[in-house]
């Protein structure tokens, strides 16, 4: 009987011979520079006995080997790009193409369904169209006794594994569920960032992202409490809904992919159409619009600034990473269907996408204790962003901050973000 070691060696040898024989039979052998090329192909498919410490185990070397090495082809730092305008046109077109989602443009046709006097501001509940068939729910916070038109902020809520509510996570409402207040304590320093911004004189709009809040996935036999979200809903029931939604996120993403479009395409389209809604309001100054968000809200903020030049300045919190650096151990809990644009990362890394905002101002904030991201990848992304803005001759318009914190948007971060928006919006 062969030992395990000799059996493995022999099976590897057989595998290499089989590949060589197949290559010779197919006629491709003469086109390879060296037989060693074929051997390398064969050996790349053989599981290694060397520990990888990777989430995908023995498949990691192959997958990592497919990632872009060196500079990305459509990065602004590629020497072939000299003009920022020409580069943006090329890179943005690639991003838009790969999103595979471009419904017919339509008017917002906004309808106000509720108005609440909150003392120093008014909270409007509105619905507006992002496509001819989809109406999106939103809160709009409007300062009272302020001279119009006013600057505006698109505030973008997070993922957080918390699906039952969306816009309410960053907009405090009267009589809200205590779980929402607890959520804000964990991620926002106990503050409603939309209310913080309206009190600084901005009109603030917050929509429910697809799959969250009023746009959450409900099943035919779901009970009334999950449908109506009453104040009596227990924390256990809320967690049960969020758990189910988390478990089904992959299924929804695969179903979307099978239908031929992308989840990020839906998100980014809705956010751009939100800007369309804002500029339709006579009380908004269309030349003074900014955006801000945490986590997937930070991802959305970067992409909104990258795709829509009406955004004058952006703040992205808790979402800056290099995709090749995430592959080994930071995909499971970070990169899902909501964040992947298939094929994009053969052309642009995430900081390259974010730099599409230039020359408009961009602030990026991350926590050094944020386990969702490879820290060296975050630092490298910061370096790349600053290099892109430097190449565009506007280095002062990019600020990257690394706080000694976990995944959050705390009061200190908020103070810096609000100062940035006040400076530029």
pLDDT digits (tens, 9 = 90+) for 246-288: 999 999 999 999 999 999 999 999 999 999 999 999 999 999 9
Average pLDDT for 159-170: 97
390 three-class SS:
helix
Which residues 6+ apart lie within 8 Å of 388 measured at CB? Answer: 75, 76, 77, 351, 352, 355, 358, 398
CB 286 within 8 A of CB 310: yes
The answer to the question of residue 143 being in a domain is yes
**pLDDT higher than 50, residue 33:** no
The answer to the question of residue 43 being in a domain is no
pLDDT of residue 323: 86
Question: How many percent of the chain have pLDDT more than 70?
Answer: 88
CB 252 within 8 A of CB 217: yes
Quote the CA–CA distance of 313 and 359 in Å, as a whole number: 10
399 sits in which H/E element: strand 398-403
Which pLDDT band holds residue 221 (cuts at 50, 70, 90)?
Answer: very high
Alpha helix ranges (H) inside 168-234 = 178-187, 193-198, 224-228
pLDDT of residue 47: 53
| Torsion angle in degrees (nearest 10) through CA of 273, 215, 251, 255 | -50
**pLDDT higher than 80, residue 12:** no
**pLDDT higher than 80, residue 22:** no
Which residues 6+ apart lie within 8 Å of 315 measured at CB? Answer: 290, 291, 292, 293, 301, 362, 363, 364, 365, 417, 420, 421
pLDDT tens per residue across span 231-242: 999 999 999 999
pLDDT of residue 26: 47
**pLDDT higher than 80, residue 18:** no
Q: Strands, E, within 265-373: which ranges?
A: 284-294, 311-317, 362-367
Which pLDDT band holds residue 328 (cuts at 50, 70, 90)?
Answer: confident
The whole domain housing 325 covers 111-424
**pLDDT higher than 90, residue 335:** no
67 sits in which H/E element: none
Q: How many domains, the chain?
A: 1
Quote the CA–CA distance of 390 and 124 in Å, as a whole number: 41
pLDDT of residue 15: 47
9 three-class SS:
helix
Which residues 6+ apart lie within 8 Å of 172 measured at CB? Answer: 180, 181, 184, 192, 194, 195
pLDDT tens per residue across span 48-91: 567 888 889 999 899 889 989 999 999 999 999 999 999 999 99
The answer to the question of residue 42 being in a domain is no
pLDDT of residue 88: 98
- Model pTM score: 0.88
pLDDT of residue 362: 98
pLDDT tens per residue across span 348-393: 999 999 999 999 999 999 999 999 999 999 999 999 999 999 999 9
Peptide bond into 101 cis (omega under 30): no
The answer to the question of residue 162 being in a domain is yes
The answer to the question of residue 299 being in a domain is yes
**pLDDT higher than 90, residue 194:** yes
pLDDT of residue 21: 52
Give me the phi and psi of 24, to 5 degrees please: -65, -40
Quote the CA–CA distance of 414 and 385 in Å, as a whole number: 21
Long-range contacts of 63-68 (CB under 8 A, 24+ apart): 63/327, 64/324, 64/327, 64/328, 67/323, 67/324, 67/327, 67/345, 68/324, 68/345, 68/346, 68/349
pLDDT of residue 6: 40
Cα distances (angstroms) measured from residue 225 to each of 178, 230, 236, 241: 16, 6, 12, 10
Residue 138, judged by CB atoms within 10 A of its CB (0-12, 13-18, 19+), counts as: buried
Determine how β-strand 284-294 pairs with β-strand 203-207.
Answer: unpaired
Determine how β-strand 121-129 pairs with β-strand 111-117.
Answer: antiparallel
pLDDT of residue 52: 80
Q: Which residues on neighbouring strands pair with residue 207, listed in sequence order?
A: 138
The helix-helix angle for 35-44 and 4-26 (nearest 10°) equals 130
Which pLDDT band holds residue 46 (cuts at 50, 70, 90)?
Answer: low
Greater confidence (34 vs 307) lies with 307
- The CATH number given to whatever domain includes residue 336 is 3.40.50.1820
Which residues 6+ apart lie within 8 Å of 351 measured at CB? Answer: 320, 322, 380, 381, 382, 384, 385, 388
Q: Which residues on neighbouring strands pair with residue 364, listed in sequence order?
A: 316, 400
Q: Of 55-69, 89-103, 303-317, 406-420, where does mean pLDDT reach its minimum? A: 55-69
Give me the phi and psi of 405, to 5 degrees please: -140, 170
Quote the CA–CA distance of 291 and 194 in Å, as a whole number: 11
The answer to the question of residue 318 being in a domain is yes
DSSP 56: T
The answer to the question of residue 100 being in a domain is no
Mean predicted lDDT score pLDDT of the chain: 90
The answer to the question of residue 385 being in a domain is yes
């Amino acid at each position: 009987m062969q030992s395990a070691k000799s059996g493995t060696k022999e099976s590897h040898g057989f595998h290499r011979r089989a590949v060589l024989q197949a290559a010779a039979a197919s006629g491709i052998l003469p086109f390879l520079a060296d037989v060693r090329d074929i051997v390398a192909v064969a050996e790349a498919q053989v599981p290694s006995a060397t520990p990888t410490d990777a989430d995908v185990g023995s498949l990691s070397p192959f997958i990592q080997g497919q990632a872009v090495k060196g500079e990305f082809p459509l990065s602004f730092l590629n020497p072939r790009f000299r003009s920022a305008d020409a580069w943006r046109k090329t890179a943005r077109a690639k991003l838009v193409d790969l999103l595979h989602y471009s419904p017919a443009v339509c008017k917002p046709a906004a309808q106000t369904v509720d108005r609440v006097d909150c003392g120093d501001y008014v909270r409007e509940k509105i619905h507006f169209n992002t496509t001819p068939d989809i109406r999106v729910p939103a809160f709009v916070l409007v300062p009272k006794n302020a001279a119009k038109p006013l600057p505006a902020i698109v505030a973008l809520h997070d993922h957080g594994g918390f699906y039952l509510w969306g816009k309410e996570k960053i907009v405090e409402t009267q009589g809200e569920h205590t779980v929402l207040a607890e959520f804000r304590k964990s991620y926002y320093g106990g503050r409603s960032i939309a209310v913080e911004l309206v009190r600084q004189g901005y009109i603030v709009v917050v929509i429910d992202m697809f799959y969250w809040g009023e746009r959450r996935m409900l099943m035919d036999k779901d009970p009334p409490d999950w449908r109506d979200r009453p104040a009596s809903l227990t924390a256990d029931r809320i967690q049960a809904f969020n758990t189910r939604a988390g478990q089904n996120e992959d299924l929804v993403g695969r179903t979307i992919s099978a239908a031929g479009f992308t989840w990020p395409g839906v998100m980014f389209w809705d956010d751009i159409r939100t800007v369309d809604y804002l500029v339709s309001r006579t009380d908004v100054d269309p030349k003074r619009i900014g955006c801000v968000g945490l986590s997937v809200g930070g991802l959305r903020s970067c992409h909104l600034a990258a795709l829509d030049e009406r955004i004058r300045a952006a703040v992205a919190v808790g979402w800056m990473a290099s995709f090749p650096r995430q592959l080994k151990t930071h995909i499971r809990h970070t990169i899902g269907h909501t964040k992947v644009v298939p094929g994009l990362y053969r052309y642009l890394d995430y900081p390259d996408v974010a730099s599409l905002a230039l020359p408009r101002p961009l602030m990026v904030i991350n926590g050094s204790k944020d386990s969702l991201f490879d820290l060296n990848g975050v630092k490298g992304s910061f370096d790349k962003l600053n290099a892109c803005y430097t190449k565009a001759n506007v280095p002062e318009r990019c600020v990257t901050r690394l706080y000694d914190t976990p995944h959050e948007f705390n009061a200190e971060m908020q103070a810096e973000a609000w100062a940035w928006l006040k400076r530029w919006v």
